[in-house]
Chains A and B, each alone.
Chain A
Amino acid sequence: MELSGAEIVVRCLQAEGVEYVFGYPGGAVLFLYDELFKQDKVKHILVRHEQGAIHAADGYSRSTEKVGVALVTSGPGVTNSVTGIATAYMDSIPLVIITGQVPTHAIGQDAFQECDTVGITRPCVKHNFLVKDVKDIAITMKKAFYIATTGRPGPVVVDIPKDVTNHKAEFEYPKSIHMRSYNPVVKGHAGQIKKAVQILTHAKRPMIYTGGGVVLGNAAPELAQLVHTLGFPCTNTLMGLGAYPATDSQFLGMLGMHGTYEANMAMQHCDVLLAIGARFDDRVIGNPKHFFEEPRTIIHIDIDPSSISKRVKVDVPIVGNVREVLQELTKQLQASKDKPDAEALTAWWEQIKLWRERDCLKYDRKAKIIKPQYVIEALYEVTKGDAFVTSDVGQHQMWAAQFYKFTKPRRWINSGGLGTMGFGLPAAMGVQLAHPKATVACVTGEASIQMCIQELSTCKQYHLPIKIVNLNNRYMGMVRQWQEFFHGNRYAESYMDALPDFVKLAESYGHIGMRIEKPGEVADAMKEAFARKKDLVFLDFVTDQTENVFPMVPGGKGLSEMILV
Chain B
Amino acid sequence: MPTAVASEPDTQVPARPVPAPPARRRTADGRWGGVFLAPWLLGLVLLTLGPMAASLYFSFTDFGLLGSPHWVGGKNYAELLTDDPTYLQSIKVTLVYVGLSVPLKLAIALLVAMVLNTKLRGLSFYRAVFYLPSLLGASVAVAIMWRQLFTGDGVVNRFLAVLGIDAPSWVSNPDYSIYTLVALAAWQFGTPMLIFLAGLQQIPRTLLEAASVDGAGTVSRFFRVTLPLLTPILFFNLVMQVIGSFQAFSQAYVVGDGQGGPAESTLVYSLYLYKAAFVEFKMGYASAIAWVFLLGIAALTAVNFLFSRYWVFYDDEH
- A and B physically associate: no
Hey, which bits of chain A sit against chain B, CB under 8 A?
none
